[in-house]
C-alpha cells in the first residue's frame, strides 16, 4: 500500500485552515480586549467626566459676571467708591478668567512668567476632565466678592446669588459628575486667590503724600466751578504689567506755552473756544455721550463697550476669555502710560486760558473739567488702544452702535470701524471744551502704540 501523500493544493488548503483557526482565536482575544477597554473607559467617564475643550462651552458665565460688575461700577455709589480701582477689577478679572479656562484651550498657555511678578498658576490633573464654566464661575465670583467689598448689601448679595444660580445650573447638567464639578471649582478658586494676592502688590494701595501741582504759566491747576483735586497723580508709579509695554509710546512735547496771538499755543486754545461757539446738535450729543458722569468713571466706559460688543457677538468661552485678557492687559498699561505723561507735562485745561488770556471770563465747557492735566487725553488713549485690540479681534470694517446711555435717554453712537470710533471720541472731547485737538490726536497715537507693543510682547499661543 502506498503511503498517503498530500498534493500541493492540499497543502495550501491545510495551511489556510490552520490560519483561519489562528485568526479566529486572535480576533476573539481582540474583541475581548476591546470590550475590556470600553468598560474601563466607561468607568473612567463615570468618575472623571468627559474631556471637553473650553471652546465647546458658551461664554454665558463670563458675560453674566461682567454684566454684574458693570452694574456695580455704574450704579451709585459705584463711581464714588471704586474710582480708578474699577479699572483694576476688570483687568484682574479678565486675567483670572483666562487662566481658569486656558487648561481647556490646546495650543494656548498661561501668562505666568510673561506678566510682571505674576505667580505660577495651578496645573490641571492629567487625563482628568474639567467643566470650564464652573471653573470660570468660581474664579469670577471669588474676585468680585473680594474686590467689591464696599458695595451696598444688595449688590454683595447679587454676587452670591449669581454664583449659586450658575452652580445649580452646572450641577443639573447630566453630563457633569460631582468629581468633575468639584475639581473645576477648586481650580477656579485657586486661580482667583493667586491673582487676587498678586493684585494687592501692584502699588495701587500705596499711600502717597498729597499731590502738590507745580505752579507756573500754562501748568495745570484745579479748574472752576468745582475745582477738583488731582485725580490719579501717582497712578503711573504702579507696577508695570508688561515689561517694555510702554517703550516708544511717549508722545512728543505739547506746544510751548505762549500768550502771543501768533503762537501755536494760542491757536490751539482758540480753536477750542471757536468750536464751542458753533456746536451742532450732533456734536453736542457726541460730547455729552462721553461725559460719563452720571454713569461711569472716565475709562470704565470702555469696560461697558467691551461688554456690549462681546455680548452682541456671543462667542464661545475660549474666544471671550482670550479677548478679555488681551484687552485688560492693554487697558491696564494705557492708564500707566497716559497718567505718567499727564503729570509729567502738566498742561493746563482750556478753561483757564480762555477765561484769562482770551478774555472770555464767563465761558465754560459743556460740563465740568475732570481733575487731571490735559495732555494727552485719557479718553483718546483708551480709544486708540481699544481700536487696535478690537480690530485684531473683529477686523477693520466692523460696524457697531454703542448703547451705553440708553438708560439716560441719550441717542446711541454709530461707527463703521473701531478706528472711526477712536477718532470720533477724540473730537467729542474737543467739542466738550475740555481738551485740545493735539491732546486727543497724540493720546490716540499713544494708545495705539501701547496696544501694538503689548500684543507683540505677550504670547498667548505656545507657538507664537
- The domains of the chain, with CATH numbers, are 54-199 (1.20.144.10), 235-457 (1.10.606.20)
3 state SS of 254? coil
pLDDT at 192: 98
Average pLDDT over residues 236-252: 97
* pLDDT tens sequence across 111-130: 999 999 999 999 999 999 99
Give the Cα separation of 218 and 157 in Å (integer). Answer: 49
pLDDT at 4: 41
Average pLDDT over residues 134-153: 96
pLDDT at 58: 98
Percent of the chain whose pLDDT exceeds 70: 88
Least Cα distance to 435 among 372, 357, 356 occurs for 372
C-alpha dist (Å) from residue 169 to 20, 39, 165, 191, 192? 55, 29, 6, 22, 21
pLDDT band at 149 (very low <50, low <70, confident <90, very high): very high
pLDDT band at 33 (very low <50, low <70, confident <90, very high): very low
Average pLDDT over residues 217-238: 95
Per the structure block, which three cell numbers stand in for 314? 456671543
Give the Cα separation of 238 and 153 in Å (integer). Answer: 30
Least Cα distance to 154 among 71, 83, 93 occurs for 71
Q: How far apart are the first and last CA of the chain?
A: 85
Average pLDDT over residues 403-418: 94
3 state SS of 311? helix
Q: Is 146 a residue whose pLDDT tops 50?
A: yes
Q: Where are the alpha helices (DSSP H) in 148-280?
A: 153-171, 178-199, 264-276
Helices and strands per DSSP (H, E), number in the chain: 15, 2
Q: Is 40 a residue whose pLDDT tops 50?
A: no
Work out the angle at residue 370's Cα, subtended by the Cα atoms of residues 366 and 375, and round it to the nearest 5 degrees: 105
* pLDDT tens sequence across 327-336: 999 999 999 9
pLDDT at 17: 47
* pLDDT tens sequence across 366-398: 999 999 999 999 999 999 999 999 999 999 999
pLDDT at 19: 41
23-32, 56-65, 106-115: the lowest-pLDDT one: 23-32
Mean pLDDT of the chain: 90
Give the Cα separation of 316 and 349 in Å (integer). Answer: 44
pLDDT band at 53 (very low <50, low <70, confident <90, very high): very high
Average pLDDT over residues 2-10: 44
pLDDT at 296: 80
More confident residue, 81 or 252: 252
pLDDT at 50: 64
pLDDT at 16: 43
pLDDT at 8: 46
Q: Is 29 a residue whose pLDDT tops 70?
A: no
What is the longest distance spanned by two Cα atoms in the chain?
Answer: 140
Q: Is 45 a residue whose pLDDT tops 80?
A: no
Q: Is 187 a residue whose pLDDT tops 60?
A: yes
- Burial class for 222, CB neighbours closer than 10 Å (0-12, 13-18, 19+): middle
pLDDT at 108: 98
C-alpha dist (Å) from residue 192 to 99, 122, 167, 301? 9, 10, 17, 25
pLDDT at 452: 98
pLDDT at 299: 74
30-34, 93-97, 321-325, 377-381: the lowest-pLDDT one: 30-34
What residues contact residue 239 under an 8 Å CB cut-off, 6+ apart? Answer: 116, 117, 201, 202, 203
Q: Are strands 400-402 and 413-415 parallel, antiparallel or unpaired?
A: antiparallel
pLDDT at 48: 56
3 state SS of 316? strand
Matching residue, cell 460730547: 287
Per the structure block, which three cell numbers stand in for 13? 488548503
Per the structure block, which three cell numbers stand in for 205? 494701595
| Per-residue buried b or exposed e for 308-328, using 16+ beta carbons within 10 Å of the residue's own CB | bbbbeeebebbbbbbbbbbbb
pTM of the predicted protein model: 0.89
pLDDT band at 85 (very low <50, low <70, confident <90, very high): confident
Average pLDDT over residues 327-352: 97
Which helix (H) or strand (E) segment holds residue 317: the answer is helix 317-345
Least Cα distance to 290 among 160, 170, 430 occurs for 430
Exposure on the CB side of residue 159, measured as CA atoms within 13 A: 21
Q: Are 439 and 377 in contact (CB under 8 A)?
A: yes
* pLDDT tens sequence across 413-440: 999 999 999 999 999 999 999 999 999 9
3 state SS of 65? helix
461 forms beta bridges with: 108
More confident residue, 73 or 286: 286
Amino acid at each position: 500500500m502506498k503511503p498517503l501523500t498530500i498534493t500541493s493544493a492540499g497543502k495550501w488548503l491545510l495551511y489556510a485552515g490552520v490560519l483561519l483557526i489562528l485568526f479566529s482565536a486572535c480576533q476573539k482575544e481582540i474583541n475581548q480586549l476591546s470590550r475590556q477597554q470600553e468598560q474601563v473607559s466607561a468607568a473612567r467617564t463615570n468618575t472623571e467626566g468627559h474631556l471637553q475643550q473650553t471652546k465647546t462651552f458658551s461664554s454665558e458665565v463670563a458675560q453674566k459676571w461682567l454684566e454684574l460688575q458693570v452694574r456695580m461700577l455704574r450704579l451709585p455709589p459705584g463711581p464714588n467708591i471704586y474710582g480708578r480701582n474699577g479699572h483694576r477689577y476688570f483687568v484682574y478679572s479678565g486675567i483670572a478668567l483666562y487662566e481658569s479656562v486656558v487648561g481647556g484651550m490646546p495650543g494656548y498657555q498661561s501668562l505666568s512668567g510673561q506678566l510682571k511678578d505674576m505667580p505660577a498658576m495651578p496645573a490641571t490633573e492629567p487625563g482628568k476632565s474639567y467643566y470650564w464654566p464652573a471653573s470660570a464661575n468660581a474664579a469670577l465670583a471669588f474676585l468680585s466678592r473680594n474686590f467689591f467689598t464696599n458695595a451696598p448689601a444688595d449688590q454683595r448679595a447679587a454676587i452670591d446669588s449669581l454664583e449659586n444660580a450658575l452652580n445649580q445650573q452646572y450641577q443639573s447638567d447630566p453630563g457633569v459628575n460631582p468629581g468633575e464639578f468639584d475639581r473645576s471649582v477648586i481650580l477656579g478658586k485657586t486661580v482667583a486667590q493667586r491673582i487676587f494676592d498678586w493684585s494687592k502688590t501692584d502699588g495701587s494701595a500705596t499711600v502717597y503724600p498729597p499731590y502738590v501741582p507745580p505752579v507756573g504759566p500754562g501748568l495745570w491747576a484745579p479748574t472752576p466751578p468745582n475745582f477738583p483735586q488731582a485725580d490719579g497723580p501717582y497712578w503711573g508709579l504702579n507696577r508695570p504689567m508688561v515689561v517694555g509695554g510702554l517703550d516708544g509710546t511717549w508722545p512728543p512735547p505739547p506746544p510751548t506755552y505762549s500768550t502771543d496771538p501768533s503762537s501755536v499755543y494760542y491757536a490751539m486754545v482758540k480753536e477750542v473756544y471757536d468750536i464751542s461757539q458753533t456746536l451742532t446738535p450732533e456734536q453736542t450729543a457726541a460730547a455729552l455721550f462721553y461725559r460719563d458722569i452720571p454713569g461711569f468713571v472716565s475709562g470704565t466706559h470702555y469696560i461697558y463697550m467691551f461688554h456690549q460688543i462681546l455680548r452682541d457677538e456671543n462667542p464661545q468661552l475660549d474666544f471671550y476669555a482670550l479677548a478679555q485678557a488681551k484687552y485688560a492687559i492693554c487697558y491696564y498699561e494705557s492708564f500707566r502710560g497716559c497718567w505718567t505723561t499727564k503729570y509729567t507735562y502738566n498742561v493746563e485745561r482750556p478753561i483757564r486760558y480762555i477765561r484769562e488770556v482770551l478774555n472770555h471770563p464767563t465761558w465754560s465747557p459743556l460740563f465740568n473739567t475732570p481733575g487731571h492735566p490735559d495732555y494727552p487725553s485719557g479718553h483718546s488713549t483708551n480709544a486708540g488702544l481699544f481700536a487696535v485690540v478690537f480690530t485684531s479681534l473683529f477686523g477693520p470694517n466692523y460696524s457697531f452702535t454703542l448703547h451705553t446711555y440708553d438708560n439716560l435717554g441719550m441717542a446711541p453712537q454709530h461707527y463703521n470701524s473701531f478706528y472711526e470710533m477712536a477718532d470720533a471720541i477724540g473730537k467729542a472731547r474737543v467739542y466738550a471744551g475740555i481738551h485740545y485737538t493735539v491732546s486727543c490726536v497724540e493720546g490716540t497715537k499713544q494708545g495705539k502704540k501701547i496696544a501694538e507693543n503689548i500684543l507683540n510682547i505677550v504670547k498667548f499661543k505656545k507657538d507664537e
